[in-house]
Amino acid sequence: MEYLDMVVNETMRLYPVIGRINRLSKEDAEINGVFIPKGTVVVIPIFVLHQNPKYWPDPEEFHPESYGTSSHGLFKKLGIPGPKPLPFFGTMLNYKRGVSIYDIECQKQYGDMWGLYNGLLPALIIAEPDMIKNVLVKEFYTIFTNRRLFGPLGFMKKSITSSENEEWKRIRSLMTPAFSSGKLKEMFHIIQEYGDMLVKNISREVEKGKSVNMNNVFGAYSMDVLTGTLFGVKVDSLNNPQDPFVKNIRKLFIFDFFNPLAFSTALFPFLSGIYNKLNICIFPSDATSFFKKFIEKTKKDRLENTQEHRVDFLQLMMNSQNSKEMESYKLISDLEIMAQSITFMSAGYETTSTTLSFITYLLAIHPNVQKKLQHEIDTVLPNKAPATYEALVEMEYLDMVVNETMRLYPVATRINRLSKKDAEINGVFIPKGTQVVIPIFVLHRDPKYWPDPEEFRPERFSKENKERINPYTYLPFGYGPRNCIGMRFALINMKLAIVKILQNFSQYPCEETEVGRTYAF
């Protein structure tokens, strides 16, 4: 009974039985510039919030109809089709089936543009390349600079993925040199070391005479490369799962859109401000505290021992702190280093291991492709010669296989931008505050752009064919000024792993391999 639910909720808004809730400060703290001494009671006045005209138009009036649906008429008013939203939840409950599956269903029903509601927040989904170009490139700086992120982020608002406007621009410009081809060549030996460890770990499993769970092996490889290139820490995570570093990194990767904190901010956007004032963060505090202490100690040790030459990302960020070419207000802070470090770990771990798992799965069920790729590897690197940065860049067929895998199985099924002001894009009015979503999975499987889109055909990305691909229909790393800063790093990392494996092994499906299953996120 939807209307019954609306009546009950509107009554509780007008007359909450609990007028206040409180929390006790365990230690001295500074929240949004306000000093809160240890032992202070922090009170949240529920009655005041429920009667605040900033959040509730005509707050004294009893309006069950508008409660939980205040924004849900937007797309109907604009003439944009889409599924009917539920009060409070909007269309979010449909994500339980998988976001990409739901997007495919919506495109079939509504075409290349439709409207959804993440709780009360409107989201315009666009799968039309010209519109995508306008959002990601042409109007990026004027209108679509920022992203909408769910959940209280705390200090992670300072990360390259979450920061906004000039702050994002400053952090991006500070971090870009660390991901140049020159810097990646300098740290390539670190990735090579873990490529050798990857082969040893697989050999150890093969010797047991059992099938190998490549997802576990690649998860360990991905984590080891990240800890090595980010912090200069050597961790064999497959064989040391209880290492404190491994345990705390894993805590950062557990994210669920239906997590109460993330979900509640989608249902009630004003809660984000309250959570931020209380310094509540979606990331586990014990894990972030562990890395904060680790980074502080590592920085201290390195500043005391300046003789050793290091090329990991932490050192590059420390170097930028001490740059004499930068004005002081532009330098990266310790808290920003912490935020970037956690971002690189959370963004680089599962994306790499998942893509590598899909590559080996596709090679196992397409032996002709595997054989052709092995031939290219043996030609460029005869007699199992060690891979070099230049050799990996040179391998055309390897690049084709990786690109086609990311087309079929993009790890980011969507990207979004937030409209900073009212705008009109390709004749479509987009109000300020609207989230514009680009459904990557839909674009990568659209037969208008990819003949027989469900089939694995690396030749789609040959030199001749690549020139005919519309760049706004293939977006595994996003596009434009806010694309994935770690794209080069991710590609070299994955390519080295595949080369090392195919120099030493061949892939075959086992009894547990679910051939033909449609994987979606």
What token pair was written down for 25?
Answer: 């400060």
DSSP string, 428-462: EEE-TTPEEEEEHHHHHT-TTTSSSTTS--GGGGS
Cβ-proximal residues to 29 (8 Å cutoff; 6+ apart), any chain: 35, 36, 279
Angle at 160 between CA 496 and CA 142, to 5 degrees: 120
Q: How far apart are CA 41 and CA 22, in angstroms?
A: 7
> Checking DSSP bridges between strand 435-439 and strand 121-126, what pairing results, if any?
parallel
- Residue pair 337/391 in contact (Cβ under 8 Å)? The answer is no
Mark 236-274 as b/e (b = at least 16 C-beta within 10 Å). Answer: bbbeeeeeebbebbeebeeeeeeeebbbbbbbbbebbee
Indicate the SS3 state at residue 208.
coil
Indicate the SS3 state at residue 468.
coil
Cβ-proximal residues to 76 (8 Å cutoff; 6+ apart), any chain: none
SS (H, E, C) 144-177: CCECCCCCCCHHHHHCCCCCCHHHHHHHHHHHHH
Annotated binding residue at 281? no
For residue 303, the Cα-to-chain-centroid distance in whole angstroms is 32
Distance, first Cα to last Cα, the chain: 31
Q: How far apart are CA 356 and CA 374, in angstroms?
A: 16
DSSP conformational letter for 348: H
Q: How far apart are CA 461 and CA 19, in angstroms?
A: 62
> Checking DSSP bridges between strand 121-126 and strand 414-418, what pairing results, if any?
unpaired
Q: In Å, what is the CA distance from 144 to each residue of 367, 432, 480?
A: 44, 10, 11
402 class by beta-carbon count within 10 Å (0-12 exposed, 13-18 middle, 19+ buried)? buried
224 class by beta-carbon count within 10 Å (0-12 exposed, 13-18 middle, 19+ buried)? buried
Q: How far apart are CA 231 and CA 212, in angstroms?
A: 29
Binding-site sequence positions for heme: 484
Binding-site sequence positions: 484
